Amino acid sequence: MPTPSFTDHPASVGETYTEHMHTAAWFGWRMLVGSLACFVHALLPFLFTRTGSATIAQLHDRMVVNRVRAERAAGVQASRPA
Under a CB-based contact definition with an 8 Å cutoff, are residues 70 and 19 in contact? no
| In the predicted structure, residue 75 carries a pLDDT above the cut 60 | yes
Helix (H, G, I), strand (E, B) or coil at 46: coil
Question: Average of pLDDT values for 49-60?
Answer: 95
Is pTM, for the whole model, over 0.75? no
Question: Average of pLDDT values for 28-49?
Answer: 97
How far is the CA of 63 from the CAs of 7, 43, 59, 67, 80, in angstroms?
19, 30, 6, 6, 26
Question: Average of pLDDT values for 2-27?
Answer: 87
| DSSP-assigned letter for residue 64 | I
User: Which of the four pLDDT bands, split at 50, 70 and 90, describes residue 1?
Assistant: low
Q: What's the confidence (pLDDT) of residue 66? A: 75
